[in-house]
Amino acid sequence: MKIGIYGGTFNPPHLGHLAAARAAIRSLELDRLLLMPAAVPPHKELPSGSPPAGDRLAMTAKLADALLMPKTVQVSTLEMDRPGPSYTADTVETIRRQEPEAELWLLVGSDMFLSLHTWREPERILKCVSVCAFHRTQGDEAERFAAQKARLERDYGARVEMIPVPGLVEISSTRLRELLARGEGQEYLHPSVYGYILLHRLYGTHADLRHLELPELRACSYAMMKEKRVAHVQGVEEEAARLARRWGADETLARRAGILHDCTKYLDLEEQLALCGQYGVELDELERQAVKLLHSKTGACIARAVFGEPDEVYWAIFWHTTAKADMTTLEKILYVADYMEPNRDFEGVERLRALAYEDLDRALLLGVETTIQEMEERQVPIHTNTLAARDWLTAHGVTVEI
């Protein structure tokens, strides 16, 4: 069992951390990687304007999720939960006690590595762990790294590996925080971390959430979901944009609806019901029980109330799960795009994809009929609006074979 321990203030976690974590997992063949935000770094106070520990923890969890290896990558609150300063010697001894048989690797960036001998009780640290130092693939670090490796090996009998991180982002956290306060720096952050910063107005950002450009809107939406759903949401956005061009709808509105359509997918039933109450959405009996039917309604509410989206976007999101009778073109587009975006894979999806560009109503009906059939097979109650969508289309002469 190989465990990597990657500590830091993560203030904020950025693409450099992400690239390093990925490289460590691959090079060291880690079974587990612990991302460990420090409570109070021993060598300095956190700079003023730093977010509370809870926000650094949440951002670090986003970074962990971004690696898409939930079994391997975990966030550890060991240091945050311990009162007082976070000394690495204490941390690694605790983990050594918990995992006596494991091969422990302490992961460190270049500045940390080069100063490791000055940390508190390096001998205690290096008795418990091997050291993995990240270095850039370009630049002049090689000599200093080799000298430091030799020193740690000689003075402490340490085991040191140096791993090159391709494309390691050259950004200091101090500089990144300055950029963020000026409304810049997005290119150094994973989108969901950036979205979290915008949504919570960290680091002096003050984005007007009601008038976001598309990249910021994407970031905020992705921050509200798990990383594994992001590809689907990107697929829906692109498919909705293509369909909007094909069928003469507003492409930007189609994109915005696609970006936000599943933004509340990860709220639980209680949270969904609370939002419906707050925004006055009336629910029928089935909706009050089937949590999957609620995210379209609450997503619409958040799109309008938080992100200032117009009615067209509100209603497209509102109806994207069940459909309904007599839909607008944008509503049809989002429903169909959600059904057949490139990541969807089910029997008949190719036919639906082709039909969507030939006859939008027939594609819609095919989607609705497919849902009805699936619900019947799974013996799940079919929502009245789903049935109403089918009846309306059929009554208007739309036909499709399923």
User: Can you give the binding site for Fe ion, defined by CB under 5 A?
Assistant: 262, 338
- Closest-CA residue to 50 (of 13, 87, 76): 13
Q: Indicate the residue among 157 and 381 with the shorter CB distance to ligand DGI.
A: 381
Which range in 62-70, 143-151, 219-227, 288-296 contacts ligand DGI by CB under 6 A?
288-296
Cα separation values, 60 from 178, 181, 193, Å: 20, 20, 8
Which range in 11-19, 124-132, 164-172, 287-295 contacts ligand DGI by CB under 6 A?
287-295
Q: Which does 322 bind (CB under 5 to 8 A by kind): ligand DGI, Fe ion, none?
A: ligand DGI
Tokens 């494309």, residue located: 167
End-to-end Cα distance, the chain: 51
Give the three-class secondary structure for 105.
Answer: strand
> How big is the site for ligand DGI, counted in residues (CB under 6 A)?
17
293 binds ligand DGI (CB under 6 A): yes
Binding track, positions 325-364, relative to ligand DGI; x by CB under 6 A? -------------x--------------------------
Instruction: Give the nearest distance from C-beta 254 to ligand DGI in angstroms.
Output: 16
290 binds ligand DGI (CB under 6 A): yes
336-367 burial, b if ≥16 CB within 10 A, otherwise e?
bbbbbbeebeeeeeeebbebbeeebbbbbbbb
The residue type of 388 is A
Question: Is the distance from CB of 318 to CB of 297 less than 8 angstroms?
Answer: yes
Query: Residue 347 is encoded by which pair of tokens?
Result: 């029997």
Pick one of 11, 91, 110, 371: the residue that binds ligand DGI (CB under 6 A): 371
Instruction: Give the nearest distance from C-beta 386 to ligand DGI in angstroms.
Output: 4
Q: Indicate the residue among 81 and 285 with the shorter CB distance to ligand DGI.
A: 285
Instruction: Give the nearest distance from C-beta 133 to ligand DGI in angstroms.
Output: 42
**Sequence-ordered list of residues with C-beta below 8 angstroms from that of 309, at least 6 positions apart, any chain:** 256, 257, 260, 303
370 binds ligand DGI (CB under 6 A): no
Query: Residue 180 is encoded by which pair of tokens?
Result: 């963020």
386 binds ligand DGI (CB under 6 A): yes
Q: Indicate the residue among 227 and 338 with the shorter CB distance to Fe ion.
A: 338
303 binds ligand DGI (CB under 6 A): no
The strands making up 73-75's β-sheet, listed across from edge to edge, are: 73-75, 32-37, 2-8, 103-108, 130-136, 160-165
Instruction: Give the nearest distance from C-beta 241 to Fe ion in angstroms.
Output: 15
How many helices and strands (H and E) does the chain possess?
20, 6
How crowded is the C-beta side of 168, counted as CA atoms within 13 Å? Answer: 18
Whole-angstrom Cα Rg for the chain: 25
Q: Which does 293 bind (CB under 5 to 8 A by kind): ligand DGI, Fe ion, none?
A: ligand DGI
Instruction: Give the nearest distance from C-beta 346 to Fe ion in angstroms.
Output: 14
Q: What is the signed CA dihedral for 250, 252, 255, 257, rounded to 10 degrees? A: -70
Instruction: Give the nearest distance from C-beta 251 to Fe ion in angstroms.
Output: 19
Q: Indicate the residue among 55 and 338 with the shorter CB distance to Fe ion.
A: 338
Instruction: Give the nearest distance from C-beta 273 to ligand DGI in angstroms.
Output: 16
Q: Indicate the residue among 90 and 262 with the shorter CB distance to Fe ion.
A: 262
What does the binding site for ligand DGI look like in residue numbers (CB under 6 A)? 262, 265, 290, 292-293, 296, 320-322, 338, 371, 375, 380-383, 386
